[in-house]
Structure 1
Amino acid sequence: MQIMFDRAEVRYGTHAALQPLDLSLGEHRIGVIGLNGSGKTTFARLINGLVKPSAGRVTLDGLDTVKDEKAVLLKTGFIFQNPANQIILPIIRDDIAFGPKSRGVKGEALTRAVDGVLAQLGIAHLADRRPHELSGGELQLAALAAVIVTGPDIVIFDEPTNQLDLRNRAMVQAAIDALPQQAIIISHDLDLVSGYGRVLVFHQGRLAFDGGPQDAIARYRKLALP
């Protein structure tokens, strides 16, 4: 999927959350790094229309995130920093089924869809569990299952390894690496993005660097530790 930013910017009154941005993204894995408040999350939420540009526009394969909002939402999935906040039903299987069910999938087709994504992520054993019974990594995978069961073309992750221990971090990283979908990953976990084809560095609402992971991480360190 080709994501295009055409002089897209976000302002709240006199505050520029994101300066005008011209950018084309098509890589399979894209990392996004920067200090807190640098514009990373604003940038990511522009892609699926959760944030609307104050000026300019953002398109996904030609679909405008404002004019074609519903079509864009069908193509994108978003995993929030705290996945527990997006798991809305008390049983994991039911939560995963909610998305396709709301789109008219039912009966055996619904069962196949849910079982298929549980198997894909290796979490079939969590199907009948409750969210509060899961580890942080398991919650991430449950939220991811509920997103990818609807068949998005791109998945956006906001700090997917935040506060995870080594085992859970490895579990989540393996799941992201195995996804067939294009993925954009916002993270402070520099090891996570070090293997990606392209990494963006944001600083004070601007795109400060766009390139390979090693150069991007070096630039980020200079900005963070002057």
Structure 2
Amino acid sequence: MISFHSAGVSFPDPGGTGPDSVLLEPASLDLTEPRIAVIGANGSGKSTFLRLINGLARPTTGRIAVQGLDTVRDVAAVRRRVGFLFSDPLSQLVMPLVREDVELSLKASVKNKARRREAALHHLGTMGLAHLSERSVHDLSGGERQLVALTSVLATGQGILVADEPTTLLDLRNNVLLQDTLFGLDQQVIYATHDLDFAARADRTLVIDAGRIIHDGDPRDAVDCYRRLALDPQRGRR
């Protein structure tokens, strides 16, 4: 279980005279559903919310616990349980070849080089990517890169996957492919998206506006709330 306990993020005014800059207002909630979507405008606080879950961001008030582990005090243990997928796969694919990138993810857990290569090829095979193992990541399509990045994340065995707008750079075919892949995983998946159909597929959807969670519940209701917000901010609030 992922639990937010009055967790929020804010920073003091650099000049010391104005109000604090709030990235995310304090919120308390438990994230238990298999698929949870987060929607909102650019700069609304979606990425901050996601980054709090695996310790990429730290709460300035309250705390977050992942399976009982504090995301600040136990950050290393939290990251062994929570994988993070970015919108641009090239931001996390760092090795020249596809196979080498998956091997890098396995370096801490599989010490033997030959076994590590074997494990990397196995993980690529389970994702239907074995034929790409010796290809340069720079020669892949956007969808292939995102699937390789996902494979590298999943290879480490985390039970929770956080994905920050993972379909943003993808065409329709690869968008659908990645969505179907994410929904076929055993892991809990929490993802931010601008694709409202993708958000509506979730078990639960949060709407974040100006650093505040303004809706939390049924995905269709959340999408309707966000549509109203986009057309008229005052009507969108609840």
**How far off its partner does 1:116 sit?**
2.2
Aligned to 2:172: 166
**How far off its partner does 1:113 sit?**
2.2
Identity of aligned pairs, percent?
Answer: 45
Aligned to 1:202: 208
2:188 to 177, 182, 206: 182
CA deviations on 1:90-111 (whole Å, 9 max, x unpaired) are 0010010102113343245323
Aligned to 1:11: 10
CA deviations on 1:91-137 (whole Å, 9 max, x unpaired) are 01001010211334324532342122112211111111111111111
Aligned to 2:16: none
Distance (whole Å) between structure 1 residues aligned to residue 10 and residue 171 of structure 2: 36
Q: Which consecutive unaligned segments of at least 5 residues does structure 1 have? A: none
Output the amino acid matched with 1:32: V
Distance (whole Å) between structure 1 residues aligned to residue 144 and residue 82 of structure 2: 22
Aligned to 1:65: 71
**How far off its partner does 1:40 sit?**
0.5
2:110–2:116 contact (8 Å) kept in structure 1: no
**Aligned: 1:98 with 2:97:** no
2:148 to 129, 135, 142: 142
1:212 to 199, 218, 227: 218
- Map residues 25-40 of structure 1 onto 2, 5 A cutoff: 25-40=31-46
CA deviations on 1:1-45 (whole Å, 9 max, x unpaired) are x00000001012210000001010111100000011111000000
Distance (whole Å) between structure 1 residues aligned to residue 63 and residue 204 of structure 2: 22
Alignment partner of 2:190: what SS?
Answer: strand
Output the amino acid matched with 1:140: Q
**Aligned: 1:24 with 2:30:** yes
Worse-superposed segment, 191-200 or 97-106: 97-106
CA deviations on 1:33-71 (whole Å, 9 max, x unpaired) are 001111100000000000000010000011000111110
For the aligned residue pairs, the C-alpha RMSD in angstroms reads 1.1
Output the amino acid matched with 1:99: S
Give the TM-score, by structure 2 length.
Answer: 0.92
Alignment partner of 2:208: what SS?
Answer: strand
Q: Which consecutive unaligned segments of at least 5 residues does structure 2 have? A: 13-19, 233-238
Give the TM-score, by structure 1 length.
Answer: 0.96
Aligned to 1:44: 50
Distance (whole Å) between structure 2 residues aligned to residue 163 and residue 94 of structure 1: 23
Alignment partner of 2:153: what SS?
Answer: helix
2:99–2:117 contact (8 Å) kept in structure 1: no
Output the amino acid matched with 1:4: S
**Aligned: 1:121 with 2:120:** no
2:83–2:160 contact (8 Å) kept in structure 1: yes
Output the amino acid matched with 1:180: D
Output the amino acid matched with 2:198: L
